[in-house]
Amino acid sequence: MKISNRADKYNFEKASNRLNGIIKKTGIIYSPVFSKESNNEVYLKPENLQVTGAFKVRGAYNKISKLSEKEKQKGLIASSAGNHAQGVALAAKELGVKATIVMPRSTPLIKVEATKALGADVILYGDCYDEAYNEALQLKEVNDYVFIHPFNDRDIIEGQGTIGNEILKELPDTECIIVPIGGGGLISGIAMAAKKIKPGIKIIGVEPEGAMAMKLSVDKGELVCLDGVCTIADGVAVKNPGDLTFSIIQEYVDEIVTVSDFDIMEACLVLLEKHKLIGENAGVLSLAALKKIKEKGKKTVCLISGGNIDVLTISAMINRGLVTRGRILRFTVDLPDQPGELLKVAKILAELQANVIKLDHNQFKTIDRLMEVQLDVTVETNGHEHISHILDELNKRGYVIKEL
């Protein structure tokens, strides 16, 4: 890949100095579990531990601190699915500037409340980021606010790029960095900063399958606007990537891979269980991508971009992740309506070391409720091989199983 001198127009060192005392320097963590599963030497860059729970404060503070006093007096407006909102709100608070944030109505409550707690005015509008963005632009014109773009802005990109500097200062022999992509500001900054220091480093971007606007744009060679987005990773649910970030990604990013919602849920669970770290859905895209990349045996840093996720969502993610990892099996089986049938199934499960979590014995769910009852079973298992063994054994014993 031939790289121009575009990155020389960005001063990532000065941006790092501006952020001193504002952000946490999130240290890199080695991951034995993700290393083993991907056959790479994997490290985590945990921006979920950042002061606002995400990397966005870096770009927001860098941008707002460079505004003139006249611009600051006008007040700021931004649009965000959550993390940029908190970054702008904190930066505005630190610099004494009034901020208004337009957020989609679907934004998790934890992000809305956190933004308000930092002193910003919050307006909920639209069903996705792009609708909130258009409303923010209208309010900018009406009120003469200064608009703080979440990704398609040089100063925002410069601030996010400080992560690339930090990674290579702490781990100079890094060979690959994997970064989530929403609008593209994060990976644009990291890619330029990292390749400015180490031109041969590989930068891989990750998008969810239901919001892959940047990958489609790069593959087609021109900006692609999606008709809609459908992903659990709300923080990267962007229909329109930026033109500035698109051009940088074309030049500096080596590859973009996509991951499914199931991949994301599994990554969330493993991160929580093995590292005791909470990552939001968009935040763990880099970990979900480890099974998709071609690289093996490489010293790889995965950026966990954020950890702002509400408790109810965490609960749902854990349950789905357990199913995806083969840690929970749920099935139904129709049994003759006579004494002892439930006990027979329970004994088989006990023999197979399947720990029963829940049993629902209901005669009203079957077509012929006078002759049969339906048993709904949830058991704890030790992986997909264990599940196959359980199902095979039940089938051998004459039970017709429907896996849920």
pLDDT in tens, 389-404: 999 999 999 898 888 7
126 domain-assigned: yes
Q: Is residue 159 part of a domain?
A: yes
Task: Give mean pLDDT, residues 54-72.
Answer: 97
231 and 144 in one domain?
no
CATH assignment at residue 103: 3.40.50.1100
Q: What is the pLDDT of residue 237?
A: 86
Residues 6+ apart with CB under 8 A from 273: none
From 322, 348, 382, the end of a domain falls on 322
Same domain, 199 and 172: yes
- The yes-or-no answer on residue 79 being catalytic is no
Q: Domain check: are 127 and 226 in the same one? A: no
* Model confidence pLDDT, tens digit, residues 178-195: 999 999 999 999 999 999
CATH no. for residue 333? 3.30.70.260
pLDDT at 365 over 80: no
Q: Is residue 296 part of a domain?
A: yes
Catalytic residue among 56, 111, 196, 202: 56
- What is the residue range of 235's domain? 6-55+155-322
Q: Is residue 330 part of a domain?
A: yes
360 or 37, which is more confident: 37
Does 161 share its domain with 297? yes
Pick the range with the lowest mean pLDDT from 22-26, 60-64, 91-95, 320-324: 320-324
Residues 311, 335 within the same domain: no
| Cβ–Cβ under 8 Å, residues 262 and 209 | no
- Give yes or no: residues 240 and 311 share one domain: yes
Same domain, 372 and 391: yes
Q: Does 250 lie in the same domain as 118?
A: no
Same domain for 106 and 216: no
Q: What pLDDT is stored for residue 88 in this prediction?
A: 97
Question: Does residue 36 lie in a domain region?
Answer: yes
User: 280 and 240, same structural domain?
Assistant: yes
Domain final residue, candidates 85, 116, 151: 151
What's the mean pLDDT in 125-146? 91
For residue 353, pLDDT beyond 60:
yes
Domain assignment of residue 107, yes or no: yes
Task: Kindly state whether residues 171 and 287 are assigned to the same domain.
Answer: yes
With 60 as the cut, is the pLDDT of residue 310 above it? yes
Whether 56 sits among the annotated catalytic residues: the reply is yes
Banded pLDDT at 286 (limits 50, 70, 90): very high
Residue 1 covered by a domain: no
Average pLDDT over residues 289-316: 91
pLDDT at residue number 117: 94
How many domains does the structure of the chain reveal? 3
Are residues 307 and 349 located together in one domain of the fold?
no
Domain boundary pick from 322, 345, 376: 322
Inform me whether the pLDDT recorded for 362 exceeds 70: no
Residue 229 lies in a domain: yes
What mean pLDDT comes out for the span 275-299? Answer: 96
